[in-house]
Amino acid sequence: MRRNWIQPTLLVIASAGAGTVAWSGHVLLLPVAIGFPILWSLSKSRSAATLVSAAYFLSASRGLPQGVATFYASDIWPGLLLWVAASAGFVAVHALLWTKDVSRRPAHYVLAGLLMAVPPFGITGWAHPVTAAGVLFPGWGWWGLAATTGGLAGFASRLRPAVAIGLAGFWLWAAASWTDPKLPEAWRGVDLELGASLGRDISMQRHRNLIATVSEQALDGARTIVLPESALGFWTPTVERLWVRALVGRDITVIAGAAIVDADGYDNVVVAISAEHSRILYRERMPVPGSMWQPWRPLFGGNAGARAHIFANPVVALGSGRAAVLICYEQLIIWPVLQSMRGEPDLIVAVGNGWWTKGTSIVAIQRASTAAWARLFAKPLVLSFNT
């Protein structure tokens, strides 16, 4: 009996290691995640596959308990509960689709990957191994995504040694020749270190300080300047007039995060501001479930928090081009970026407000994931985060 637990225990340990290393925030380590389907397929029972899946997901999302505790200024227990609850979908899908029939495991794994890439399971589809496509096949676009999916299926089959050798070659080549996504000409993403005050301090002085930051970037040659999620706080007519007037006489555009609030909830948005006018550029498709998006609250007489515009505005017009915008949580899951890439944008704009992630690798993972997608589809990338 004791020997029967040796193999499952080793698989669980290896799965936890794969989740930890792959999702450490270093983009070139993302391919370690493709070890998960190997470990899943090597499981000899459904219970072992369940433990392997749990070990991978919980280790990959290990920053969540501390982040939740910081966000809510609470002890660690709410974060631990949310951490376990968030893993339920991933673990359930991979546990239910595991099969004793070895010949069917590749197809079952692909189905599990598909379910975790699109809603409803894809809403918590973090740490998806297919994100490694951007490292393994930079510039290949949809063909690279297909090749990675095929490789993941191969890892769940008896062909895994040959597949592993092939993908290892691509990985080594990518590591030797890797270059970060390009920044579009005359664009500038501004990183701030304003902590929890960003979006909460709505004083005129805060706006003047941000305007001064924008002015400094403009003097350095930037013409389109990106500020993080929530940078402008509540988007009101007063704030709009202040910013439009501040840009009069300047040939620049400011793209920044804000919130539009009404009686039913709020929209987490990105606005575009110039000397002539301003407009809502993008409404977030998938706010953070639980802390921002709370669709169950109207049943109890409350509002739904942040609205989820799930399949809206995947690509937005910006000047003479088109952009894919990703706000914070959308950078951790699969379907928002793939939906945007179907629209063939000219660049990706990714913003976030990660003050609550201090002491974790969450922001680094967001940056790495977005960089991988940008390299896969050969798109310029503009990043702007507050920490």
Does 19 score more than 50 pLDDT?
A: yes
Condensed to tens digits (0 to 9), the pLDDT of residues 225-274 reads 999 999 999 999 999 999 999 999 999 999 999 999 998 899 999 999 99
> In DSSP terms, which residues pair with 132 in a beta bridge?
none
**CA-CA distance, 148 to 34, in Å (whole number)?**
9
pLDDT at 3: 59
Report which of 325, 327, 324 is spatially closest to residue 306, judged by C-alpha positions.
327
The answer on pLDDT for 105 being more than 50 is yes
Predicted pLDDT of residue 129: 97
Q: Is the pLDDT of residue 78 over 90?
A: no
**Per residue, what are the HEC states of the chain?**
CCHHHHHHHHHHHHHHHHHHHHCCCCHHHHHHHHHHHHHHHHCCCHHHHHHHHHHHHHHHCCCHHHHHHHHHCCCHHHHHHHHHHHHHHHHHHHHHHCCCCHHHHHHHHHHHHHHCCCCCHHHHCCCCHHHHHHHHCCCCCHHHHHHHHHHHHHHCCCCHHHHHHHHHHHHHHHHHHCCCCCCCCCEEECCECCHHHCCCCCCHHHHHHHHHHHHHHHHCCCCEEECCCCCCCECCHHHHHHHHHHCCCCCCEEEEEEEEEECCEEEEEEEEECCCCEEEEEECCCCCECCCECCCHHHHCCCCEECCCCCCCCCEEECCEEEEEEEHHHHCCCHHHHHHHHCCCCEEEEEEECHHHCCCCHHHHHHHHHHHHHHHCCCCEEEEEEC
Task: Note the pLDDT of residue 1.
Answer: 46
Q: Indicate if the alpha-carbon torsion angle 87, 81, 307, 323 is positive or negative.
A: negative
Q: Please report the pLDDT score of residue 338 as a whole number.
A: 98
Residues 6+ apart with CB under 8 A from 9: none
Domain map of the chain by residue range? 3-177, 187-386
User: How much is the mean pLDDT over the chain?
Assistant: 94
Mean pLDDT of 192-206: 94
Query: Is residue 79 over pLDDT 90?
Result: no
Mean pLDDT score, 5-32: 96
For the chain, give the longest Cα–Cα distance: 78
Average pLDDT, integer, range 361-365:
96
Highest mean pLDDT among 5-9, 71-75, 134-138, 261-265: 134-138
**Per-residue pLDDT at 67 exceeds 90:** no
State the residue for tokens 């539009």: 260
Give mean pLDDT, residues 213-235: 96
- By the 10 Å C-beta count (0-12 exposed, 13-18 middle, 19+ buried), 269 is classed as buried
Render pLDDT for 127-149 as a digit per residue (tens, 0 to 9): 999 999 999 999 999 999 999 99
pLDDT per residue over 115-125, tens digit each? 999 999 999 99
Radius of gyration of the chain (CA): 22
Percentage with pLDDT > 90 across the chain: 84
- Asked if pLDDT for residue 364 goes beyond 60, the answer is yes
Structure-derived torsion over alpha carbons of residues 276, 274, 283, 212, reported in degrees to the nearest 10? -140
Residue 383 is predicted with a pLDDT of: 98
CATH 3.60.110.10 holds for 187-386: yes
pLDDT of residue 2: 57
In the predicted model, is pLDDT for residue 292 greater than 60?
Answer: yes
Nearest to 91 by CA among 125, 120, 62: 125
Closest CA to 218 of 207, 226, 228: 226
